[in-house]
Structure 1
Amino acid sequence: MLQAIGLTSTPRRDRPPAVADLTFDARPGAVTALLGPAGSGKTTALRLMLELDPGRGITHFRGRPLHRVARPSREVGVLLGDVPGHPSRTLRGQLRMLCAAGGTPVARADEVLRSVGLAGLEGRRIGTLPLGADRRLGLACALLGAPHALLLDEPAAGLSSTESAGLYELLRAHAAGGGTVLYTTRDPKDAARNADRVVTLDGGRVVADQAVTEFARTRLRPRVAVRTPHVARLAAAVTQEARAARRPVEVVAEDGNLLSVYGSDCAAVGDTAFRHGVVVHRLADEIGDTGPAPRAEGGDPDGSGAPEQEAARRGTPPSRGVEGAPGAAGSGGGAEGRPSARRPARSPSRPIRYELHRLVGVPSTALVVAVVLLVSAVLAVLLGRGGSAELPVVLAGWPALSPLPPAALGAGVIGAFSFGEEYRYPALTAGRGTVPRRLGLLLAKLVVAAAVALALGVLVVAADLGALRFLYGGELVPVPDNWPALCASWLGLLVGCAWAGVLGAGVFRAAAAGVAAVLAVPVAFVPLLQQVLTGPSVRSVAGLPARLREFAGPQWSPAADRWLAGVVRVVGQPAGVALSLVLTGLLCAYVFTGLRRRARW
């Protein structure tokens, strides 16, 4: 049982809330349609139920609110808007990434693709899918965790009648297995054909909650649709003959050359058109919409009796029998149905596995690495040809005209893509709560970005050194005595740039912002700090390790003293100080924005 109780959205400025005091339920074993025109609050209602938008009210999923569900992907599957995913990622890669996020075995990806009719397309890119296959992929993402409830926002929008029928067959099969299905639609005829129960919204409020038989009787009525270039003549003729025969007929002129005749049939309208010499281009029986109706006092508001009859007509099990079935716990007051006060701890490896699947699932990562290696090797060869450049500059491929070496820029771009691509193609929106959105996911991205930056730094130095030795010989590339400090500075620069890209993109929700944060270090902060650090009143930090040792009390070994002095020398460089300040500021901004969004909820 899915119960929405008192859902009310937070109003914007002086406008009324998009959803106000919305209360309804969707039963297991049945398909429930949330019907309403554009702007009636259907999508807002779904987002409030999923705790994605701020507001009041609560939604119980089998007796528990979503934030009390330990494994949300096992309880609810969601399809909101377009299918989330990078266009260059394959169908199998997208689902395996979500499997890693939700703690689902990767074999489930191929199983779900087969169940939604996408077998054989596992290696196809998301960006090349037609609309029908795209919607089936969205349904596969929603079904990945084998959820009990499905929430879908206009799943058949833009699909052909054949594609829509196939999609609704999948939803009907999920409901027949004891699941709960709630979807939104604007078309009353769509709701009458495919739903067991229809909840009608108007202005953000429930105006009717009916079984589909009652909905069809009160909301829909048969009509004759006529297309003719002489709408006025035919309307007058039909009205005149109906009055003469004393038959209750209503004639409504629609947009263009369409005429709707209520209370008659195709034969009578066709005969009238023939007798008056009116050309008819189309004549068909249809079901017309009478518009939103108020809640009927004498209807079936609680659905007693009608759902069972309608379920029997459609060949699906009635909701009463499903609620008592094993594994479909109700929301009653039993001790077993009460929510747990504590939420089980998540596996710390899930965010790491999700981030690794995200990183290797798109070709941009390999492309950035290949470009960085090629450009660095070319620059190293050019810088080493003259013999005037220092060895660290040559190995880094860092000409004077560049603010950062190619490796640092590449590490920053990869870091920026980690959050920038996620906000552009929100893979975690449909599986809200499967991966911690704040600390856990941020730490996973920082760890993976640091590992990629370290690997990239080693590869660049190895590639540049190999190119130099191949062209100029090994004797021209001596190993300097201070190589540990040089390596630490080099790797620290790359990791810092990668972290700046991650945090910049996470704060400003764009990959370009992450790249801008990386470039801001050498372009803006380093020149400013160089002026500050070379001023006449600047004190030296050379004795900092000794002062720290005196302040700390316990004495440490001379080796630890040397390591601390080396760390201070590396961080004390203008670039190191600037990078540390930028990272600190971005981290504080990320934490502040996360806490502010949490406070709004």
Structure 2
Amino acid sequence: MIQAIGLTSSPRKELPPVVDDVSFEAHAGRVTALLGAPGAGKTTVLRLMLELQRGRGITHFRGRPLHRIAHPSREVGVLLGDVPGHPARTVRGHLRMLCAAAGVTIRRADEILETVELVSLRDERLGTLSRGMDRRLGLACALLADPHTLVLDDPARGLSTPESRWLHDALRAYATQGGTVLYATADPKEAARTADRVVTLNQGRLAADQEAADFSRTRLRPRVAVRTPHAARLAALLAKEARTTHRSVEVVREGGNRLSVYGSACAEVGEVAFRNGILVHQLADEVGDMGPDTPSPTATATATATAPGALARKPEESQQLHESQQPLESQQPPKSQQPLEPQQPTKPLRSPQTHQSPQHHQPPEPLRTHGSFNPAGPTSGAPSSPLPPPISVRSAPSPLRPLRYEFRRAVGIGTGFVTGAVVLAVSAVTAVLLARIGHTPQPRLLAAWPRELPLPPAALGAGLLGALAFGDEFRHPALAADRGTVPCRLGLLTAKLLVSAATALLLALLTVGCDAEVLHLFYGRELAQVPPEWLTLGAGWICLVVGCAWAGVLAAGVFRSTTAGLAAVVAVPVLVVPLVQAVWESHSVRTAAGFPLRLREVLLAQWPFGGERYVEAVILALAQPVGSALTLSLTALLCAYLVTTLRGRVR
């Protein structure tokens, strides 16, 4: 279950907080709707619950706040807004990437695609999905780790009636199996029809916390639904009758031949129609929404534009006949949820494993059927097993899980491959042109690095790939199934640095190899020879390319922008190198020559396999102005990233 206590957003300048002291509970096995007009604070409440926004208060998920749960995606499935994935990624690729992030097997992606009926669209790009399919994919992302709780922000917004019905049936089936479902909506009729309990917000404060039947009876105005081909004439007659009897009656044209009469009863409307010879096709008492076929687009639009708990009526569409409103007659509550037909069980959502945690005990909750989620309804005859104990607080897993995730993220779209191909082509053409012009040293020729450019194409390409590693992540948060945003975790940063370093190393080797082959093809063996000091030059070349990639990763992580990451890479040779070069050229700076020999004397041991040569190559590379500037920039960016991470964890 969910226990939200005293949720209050941070105060704004000269304005009250968006959310002020909101407390409620959402129980397991039930669907809870968080109702409010646009701007009432629904999304802010959800973000405060998920610890995505600063404020006061606390939220317990089965007795624990989210920051004390080791794997949040296994406890809470989140869908805030659209599916936050790269539009060029396929449906199946996106789910498999999230499987690596959540620590579940990749087979889970295919299973959940069958559950949400997206198997036929598994190779479609995210950017081509319709609104209904996007909602299904969002539900699949939330269900991927088989969480106990679902938190969704207006999941049915913009859906057609069949898609909305399918979605709410899926949520109902999940709650029936013991899960906790909390979703936000602005439509009171939707909340009354699909939820078990309705929590109403009004201007950031808790207005009501009621059962759905009580909400329909007390906060939705009863009305008489009338269908007649003479709607305009009947509306005028009802208005005349109300003026004659001095009663407060409101008539709303819902579009076409449908009327909604507030403040009257079926018998009174029927008598007026009978006395005036008006044919009536439908005459029924309603409270809230009686079914999916009853409301019209006009009615739905007016209902969602009002304050919570009251159906809106446009002034130009209604005929208000008296200012004083008499008490409304009590009507029957809306129809309850019809029992869903049992169907064949689908693929299991969760492996029947339990997590042992003998140190913590929670009150027993409703039983949940493991591995039998069915959007069409509960599965008859499915075995039940008790819920696992609360997730214990334990250390973070090994970096292999974020490493697998980062690898799938990097290869899931074609941006990296296209960037690498462009870098190789530009480097080859540049090397041929430099050889034709002449006066270019052999090392710069193999690296395709003209003196006029601050960085070679390979270094710029590596920096761009590094900037994309975090920049695209903040634009299209891939870890939204975990916490709704990109977490600033050191494990994720380590994985990105390792993958970007491997990518940059591969790009550096391929660039030199391709340039050598092209030069050999055009001008012969002479220009493709390996320089004598290849070890020192190779170490400097690798350090330069990998350092540019790391600078792009760190800058994009600090500034949350791909452009800022690439700008930081270019700023190293343009701005930082002249400053470092001025320092190195001063008379007070000593040379680092002979460092390996002095280090060997200090350690009193021989370097194995001639390791002093490699150390000397690295030291000489760092002693260059570009190497020193790059090292200085990386250190500053890493410190800035750590400071940003630590500040984000302070609450």
**Structures share fold, TM-score greater than 0.5:** yes
Distance 1:231 1:570, change over 3 A: same
Matched, 1:506 2:538: no
Give, in whole Å, the separation in 1 of the partners of 2:193 and 2:284. Answer: 18
Deviates more, 1:369-378 or 1:218-227: 218-227
Residues 332-366 of structure 1 deviation map (CA, whole Å, 9 limit, x = unaligned): xxxx76x74x4243132011011001000111010
Residues 122-152 of structure 1 deviation map (CA, whole Å, 9 limit, x = unaligned): 1110000011101111000000001111000
- 1:540 is aligned to 590
Sequence identity (%):
57
SS of 1:431 mapped into structure 2: helix
- 2:366 is aligned to 323
SS of 1:209 mapped into structure 2: strand
- 2:158 is aligned to 158
Q: Matches of residues 1-12 of structure 1 in structure 2 within 5 Å?
A: 1-12=1-12
Residues 442-496 of structure 1 deviation map (CA, whole Å, 9 limit, x = unaligned): 1110111001000000111111111111222224422221000010011110000
Give, in whole Å, the separation in 2 of the partners of 1:201 and 1:399. Answer: 64
Residues 480-518 of structure 1 deviation map (CA, whole Å, 9 limit, x = unaligned): 210000100111100000001001100100000000001
Distance 1:57 1:327, change over 3 A: farther
- 1:365 is aligned to 416
Deviates more, 1:16-25 or 1:157-166: 16-25
Q: Is the 8 A contact 2:177 2:367 kept in 1?
A: no
- 1:183 is aligned to 183
Give, in whole Å, the separation in 1 of the partners of 2:242 and 2:458. Answer: 83
Shift of 1:109: 0.4
Unaligned runs of 5+ in 2: 289-302, 311-332, 343-362, 369-383
Q: Which amino acid aligns with 1:382?
A: L
Q: Which amino acid aligns with 1:500?
A: A
Give, in whole Å, the separation in 2 of the partners of 1:404 and 1:593. Answer: 29
Deviates more, 1:359-368 or 1:4-13: 4-13
Matched, 1:469 2:542: no
- 2:405 is aligned to 354
Give, in whole Å, the separation in 2 of the partners of 1:278 and 1:541. Answer: 104
Q: Matches of residues 187-586 of structure 1 in structure 2 within 5 Å?
A: 187-224=187-224, 237-242=237-242, 244=244, 249-251=248-250, 260-264=260-264, 287=287, 292=308, 323=366, 340=392, 342-432=393-483, 437-535=488-586, 537-543=587-593, 545=595, 549=599, 553-557=602-606, 559=610, 561-586=612-637
Shift of 1:68: 2.2
Distance 1:399 1:252, change over 3 A: same
SS of 2:124 mapped into structure 1: coil
- 2:353 is aligned to none
Give, in whole Å, the separation in 2 of the partners of 1:328 and 1:220. Answer: 38
Shift of 1:15: 2.5
Residues 365-410 of structure 1 deviation map (CA, whole Å, 9 limit, x = unaligned): 1000010111111111122234431111111111222221110010
SS of 1:430 mapped into structure 2: helix
Unaligned runs of 5+ in 1: 295-305, 331-335
Matched, 1:589 2:640: yes
- 1:303 is aligned to none
Q: Which amino acid aligns with 1:421?
A: D
Q: Is the 8 A contact 1:6 1:21 kept in 2?
A: yes
Q: Which amino acid aligns with 2:25?
A: D
Give, in whole Å, the separation in 1 of the partners of 2:309 and 2:149. Answer: 28
Distance 1:446 1:321, change over 3 A: closer
SS of 1:208 mapped into structure 2: strand
Deviates more, 1:233-242 or 1:87-96: 233-242
Specify which structure has the higher proportion of helix. 1
Q: Is the 8 A contact 1:212 1:310 kept in 2?
A: no
Deviates more, 1:486-495 or 1:590-599: 590-599
Q: Is the 8 A contact 2:431 2:519 kept in 1?
A: yes
Q: Which amino acid aligns with 2:629?
A: A
Deviates more, 1:523-532 or 1:418-427: 523-532
Distance 1:322 1:311, change over 3 A: farther
Give, in whole Å, the separation in 1 of the partners of 2:188 and 2:309. Answer: 12
Give, in whole Å, the separation in 2 of the partners of 1:461 and 1:312. Answer: 69
Give, in whole Å, the separation in 2 of the partners of 1:127 and 1:201. Answer: 34
- 1:125 is aligned to 125
Give, in whole Å, the separation in 2 of the partners of 1:450 and 1:380. Answer: 24
Shift of 1:253: 6.3
Shift of 1:547: 9.6
Distance 1:396 1:273, change over 3 A: farther
Give, in whole Å, the separation in 1 of the partners of 2:413 and 2:33. Answer: 36
Q: Which amino acid aligns with 1:557?
A: Q
- 1:16 is aligned to 16
- 1:333 is aligned to none
Q: Is the 8 A contact 1:72 1:433 kept in 2?
A: no
Give, in whole Å, the separation in 1 of the partners of 2:175 and 2:596. Answer: 71
TM-score by length of 2: 0.80
Q: Is the 8 A contact 2:194 2:337 kept in 1?
A: no
Deviates more, 1:502-511 or 1:540-549: 540-549
Shift of 1:532: 3.4
Distance 1:508 1:278, change over 3 A: farther
Residues 157-196 of structure 1 deviation map (CA, whole Å, 9 limit, x = unaligned): 1111111111111111111211111100000000011111
Give, in whole Å, the separation in 1 of the partners of 2:466 and 2:59. Answer: 37
Residues 10-68 of structure 1 deviation map (CA, whole Å, 9 limit, x = unaligned): 22233222222221111111111010111211111111111111222222212222222
Q: How many residues align?
A: 573
Give, in whole Å, the separation in 1 of the partners of 2:55 and 2:512. Answer: 53
- 2:106 is aligned to 106
Q: Which amino acid aligns with 1:323?
A: P
Root mean square deviation, CA, Å: 3.6
Give, in whole Å, the separation in 2 of the partners of 1:32 and 1:492. Answer: 55
SS of 1:147 mapped into structure 2: coil
Shift of 1:437: 2.8
Give, in whole Å, the separation in 2 of the partners of 1:220 and 1:315. Answer: 29
Distance 1:163 1:292, change over 3 A: closer
Give, in whole Å, the separation in 2 of the partners of 1:463 and 1:137. Answer: 42
Give, in whole Å, the separation in 2 of the partners of 1:422 and 1:51. Answer: 19
Deviates more, 1:40-49 or 1:352-361: 40-49
Q: Which amino acid aligns with 1:569?
A: L
Shift of 1:234: 7.1
Shift of 1:267: 9.0
Residues 68-107 of structure 1 deviation map (CA, whole Å, 9 limit, x = unaligned): 2232211110000111100000001100110000101000
SS of 2:545 mapped into structure 1: helix
Give, in whole Å, the separation in 1 of the partners of 2:417 and 2:367. Answer: 52
Q: Which amino acid aligns with 2:366?
A: E
- 2:70 is aligned to 70
- 1:299 is aligned to none
Give, in whole Å, the separation in 1 of the partners of 2:45 and 2:122. Answer: 33
Q: Which amino acid aligns with 2:250?
A: V
Distance 1:238 1:373, change over 3 A: same
- 1:90 is aligned to 90
Q: Which amino acid aligns with 1:113?
A: L
Shift of 1:310: 5.8
